[in-house]
Amino acid sequence: MHNTDTTPTKVQKKAKLGVIPDGWTTPKINEVFQFINTTSFSRNQLNYDADNELYYIHYGDIHATYKKPLLDFEIETNIPRLNKGVELPNSVQYLQDGDVIIADASEDYEGVGEAIEIKNLNGKAAISGLHTFALRDLNNKTVPGFRTYIFKNPNVKKALKTIATGSKVYGVSKGNIQKFKIMLPPRPEQQKIAQILAVWDLAINKQRALLGEKQELKNGLITNLIVAQKDKYKIVRLKEVCSKIQDGNYGAKYPKADEFLEEGVPFLTSKAIGSGGKIYYKKLSFISKTKHEELTKGHLKLNDVLFTNRGANVGAVAMVSQDISNGNIGPQLTLLRTNDIILPEFLKYTMNSNILRKQILQQDSGSAMNFFGIRDTSKFKIPLPSILEQNKVIAVLKSIDKELEIMNNSLALVKSQKQGLIQQLLTGKIRVKI
């Protein structure tokens, strides 16, 4: 992919961040960046109307929408805008190219400190919002294109977890993160690392573009086959087509940290559910059979449909496969078990359409703890064609899903290769020649 022109590293000292390569420094964040003011408008004050000119960076989009380390305003189309007429605070500060936006809240430790870097604003006005820190280079100690990778350094990410607090939602305070130490190579080395990783990003972006085109084709088919036909079909609430709607809220019986195992009965949380109905098997947790039997609800069966009821990826929908059909769900998920008037796969495809998305956006407050309970979920409205029509829709969409699976596997391979490179370059295990 790219000749990294690397050599094994020399090391000179150890710190909490691990081995620090010769010539690298470990400054505090507030010695490298200044914190600029952010705002706290909620999701229901945002829209995607092109007539509105003020872009808004929401923490949920950092977790769930922006898949690239650099948020390029010339490329990214899913950046919300603030509603017209919303009054801005006097202290508002507008973003600039090179600013880094960090999400300060996450449902899991892995998302703590997730960051993006702003690129190609080209005169556009943008502000950083709810549950974010916005950082700007102080004294030219960093180079554009590298800043976001400071927070993707595996040693830095690991250390960030130690200052995160919370139970269901983890967060880091401004006071803690200001004094948090980072690993910083010399500027020429930053530049070279950024150039190398940019080559891999280009390959990933090309694969994503192909995948996006195929996904758009699928979305168009869903629109034509389900959404556009909804006036022809009876409209029903979810409670009418489900024999069971149940979440994984176990109260005091919820597994404690030491009850999660390396293997055992699968335990699904929202982090295992991706967009488009994908289940990330590498993000599954596990509990013992004894604990599974103690949790008397939330037991999965083959073809149950799962709905993410809160958090950054609220509304993500997936269907239970054979290998997790004996598992449990956590409180962030709601189980939908269909009755005989709807096919599980049709329900999955319908809930992955904008029929459900529109209903979610109408109620989503944008809060870190925004929650769709069983009562709310049971009231969602969907079209209900005949079983014959449902089967026709499923046959068309399943063929597209097979193609998407092949393309996703190719993307995962390139991303894995880049991640391996990150492990080496950002920790200085391999040094680039300047």
Residue 226 has what pLDDT?
A: 85
pLDDT, averaged per 10 consecutive residues of the chain (434 residues), comes to: 49 64 94 95 89 92 88 92 93 96 80 91 95 94 96 87 75 86 95 94 90 88 83 91 92 89 92 80 90 90 92 84 90 94 94 81 57 88 93 94 92 92 92 86
Give the model's pLDDT for residue 364.
56
pTM above 0.85, yes or no: no
pLDDT at site 176: 85
Q: What is the pLDDT of residue 138?
A: 94
For residue 359, the model assigns a pLDDT of 81
In this structure, what are the phi and psi dihedrals at residue 6, rounded to the nearest 5 degrees? -110, 160
pLDDT for 185: 96
